Amino acid sequence: MYEKDIVDDLDYKSMHKQLLKMGKTVKEQTNCVITSSAILELGINQLVDLIIKKIQSPALSKWTEKPYVPINNKLITLRFGDIISEDLFENMNTLFKVRNQFAHRLLFSSKDCNPVFAELAKARIKNKFLSRLPNDIVKFQLLSSQCSVMLFKISEKIDPNSVMHLEATDEITFEPIE
């Protein structure tokens, strides 16, 4: 398993402090959920592509050439290929269940958000600070960040040249998508 020896070195407390500054409207939460999920899907796609190149499987190559392969199929492939752990698999499934609720509802009110984020209670979170947070948009973003970082670190372990490195900054700003 490629996840072995990967250290979770995210500073959840600082990230939490920054994320508390963002807006909490339904539109802002929806933008955050969709954007975080898109970044997560990017990491999944990158990892699937790396694995296909590494094992050079004609069947898998043809499978990924299809215009649409459900994200769950990609996750199952990574899990049963022993590329990701059961915990990472379950956490990403949980995040995509939340994402689907936001993406497929036409009318969404602020009171509808809490039951959707309740799904986060099923996440397998080892970090004590993160596990104790309420199930809300901030926890969603922190868990999504954790999963994305894990995917990128696994990709880097497979191919060190596959991941772009960014420098950390002190301030994170969020601009709503209009």
Q: 78 versus 1: which is more confidently predicted?
A: 78
Q: 56 versus 134: which is more confidently predicted?
A: 134
Exposure b/e, 15-35, CB count within 10 A at least 16 = b:
bbebbeebeeebeebbbbbee
Q: 74 versus 163: which is more confidently predicted?
A: 74
97: tokens are: 């269940």
DSSP alpha helices (H): ranges in the chain?
Answer: 12-19, 26-55, 58-64, 71-80, 86-103, 110-117, 128-131, 137-158
From residue 23, alpha-carbon distances to 32, 39, 95, 103 in Å are 10, 20, 20, 19
User: Is residue 68 classed exposed, middle or buried when 0-12, 13-18 and 19+ CB atoms within 10 A define those classes?
Assistant: exposed
Tell me what the pLDDT averaged over the chain comes to. Answer: 82
What is the pLDDT averaged over residues 82-89? 92
Q: 168 versus 12: which is more confidently predicted?
A: 12
Contacts of 17 (CB under 8 A, 6+ apart): none
**Packing angle, helices 86-103 and 110-117, rounded to 10:** 160
152: tokens are: 């990128």
Distance in angstroms (rounded) separating the CA atoms of residues 91 and 79: 12
pTM, whole model, 2 decimals? 0.82
Tens digit of each residue's pLDDT (9 = 90 or more) over 108-123: 666 677 788 899 999 9
**Of 166, 169, 164, 162, which Cα lies nearest the Cα of 47?**
162
